[in-house]
Amino acid sequence: MNTQGTIKTNEIAETANKLNCFAFKCTTLDGKNVKGSVSKKDFEKNLNELLKTIKGSNAELFLIEFSSNGTSKAAKNCYHLIKDATPGLAAAAPVNYNYQALEPARSLGEAVKDARELAEMKSENKRLQEEITRLKLEAEETDDEAEEKANAALALAEKPADKITGYLKEILPSFLPLAEKYLDIRAMQAQTAANALNRPAQPAPGRAPMRHPFRPLPNISDNAKIQSYFNFVEKLPEHLFNREVAYLQANAPGLAQAVIEKFTEENLNEDENE
């Protein structure tokens, strides 16, 4: 769905007056209905109910459509609606803000490619973990066999001198290959464990690591900083974009939802227009 910009909850009444459209419909980003109004007469009442509903919601971003009479044939004016930190009632004094629609981010195809690569990385990590477990078991078995051979060698001290030569000829051909195999398995185990580690690259000597320009994260109600942050995220390479989304999901779920849903919706619109 194409939008004409972004507004806050305390700007709904002002926007309706500018458009002269007092019928509205508010939904979540996944299309679930939140509240609506079909006439100017009930506008203020329904708007106050909408603000109360949004205040109690965990979501931070919504869609709102304005129309002249609320019918399906009426022209729609759609905006992204950001939850204000302290949404008031419809009678609150309007505040003017200038918003710009977010620029399209990556294409849907690129997002699918990223998801596929992530799944492959997880599968490879699981395979490496299983390989490490297998090598540990083999090493334990080899340790048991080596201990058994060592005990047998100690027993030579108790054998008569004339039997030692014959006993060595019996055990040495099997003991030496076993020792070589044990050392090979130990080397493979160390190499596989090293390859399985996922460590970030260390900065070059004498060079300080770069500081993230948006740490701490901006407040979602600060529109200027949010817009700057979206522009910054949109320009990130794919692997850094995925890392940033993972950070948001762990530290700011509301902002993560806004980034994912907004960029995905813009990409879908771009693909449909092509």
Most confident of 138-142, 193-197, 259-263: 138-142
Query: What is the spatial order of strands in the sheet that 61-67 belongs to?
Result: 6-8, 77-82, 61-67, 23-28, 33-37
pLDDT above 50: residue 197: no
- Which of 96 and 229 is assigned the larger pLDDT? 229
Determine the distance from the C-alpha atom of residue 157 to the mean position of all C-alpha atoms in its chain, rounded to a whole number.
65
Rounded average pLDDT over 103-129: 78
Q: Which of 93, 105, 101 is nearest to 11 (CA)?
A: 93
Q: What is the mean pLDDT of residues 238-255?
A: 90
- Give residue 100's pLDDT band: very low, low, confident or very high (50, 70, 90): very low
pLDDT of 88 strictly over 50: no
CA 70 to each of CA 24, 174, 215: distance values in angstroms, whole numbers, following the listed order = 7, 89, 43
* Phi, psi of 104, rounded to the nearest 5 degrees: -60, 140
Give whichever of 49-53, 151-155, 192-196, 206-210 has the largest mean pLDDT: 49-53
- Tell me the chain's radius of gyration from C-alpha atoms: 33
Per the model's pLDDT, the better-predicted residue between 21 and 93 turns out to be 21
| Dihedral sign (CA 79, 82, 84, 88) | positive
Please report the pLDDT score of residue 98 as a whole number.
45
SS3 202: coil
Q: Average pLDDT for residues 236-241, to the nearest whole number?
A: 88
CB atoms within 10 A of CB 183: 10
Least confident of 116-130, 137-151, 247-261: 137-151
Please classify residue 196 by burial: count the beta carbons closer than 10 Å to its beta carbon, then call 0-12 exposed, 13-18 middle and 19+ buried.
Answer: middle
Whether the CB-CB separation of 38 and 53 falls below 8 Å is answered with no
Cα dihedral 241→244→249→250 (10° resolution): 150
**Window from 114-118, 142-146, 200-204 with minimum mean pLDDT:** 200-204
- Identify the helix (H) or strand (E) that includes residue 229: helix 223-234
Strand partners, 37: 24
**Residue 228: pLDDT above 80?**
yes
* CA neighbor of 154 nearest in space, from 146, 196, 162, 189: 146
**DSSP secondary structure letter of residue 246:** H
Q: Which of 8, 70, 74 is nearest to 35 (CA)?
A: 70
| Res 50: pLDDT | 92
Asked if the model's pLDDT at residue 72 lies above 70, the reply is: no
| pLDDT score of 48 | 93
DSSP H or E stretch at residue 135: helix 108-154
Residue 240 parent element (H or E): helix 238-251
Residue 267's identity, in one-letter code, is N
Helices in 1-94 by DSSP H: which ranges?
A: 12-19, 43-55
Cβ contact 95:10 at 8 Å = yes
Q: State the chain's mean pLDDT as an integer.
A: 78
**What is the CA 1 to chain-centroid distance, rounded?**
24
The answer to whether the predicted template modeling score (pTM) of the entire model surpasses 0.75 is: no
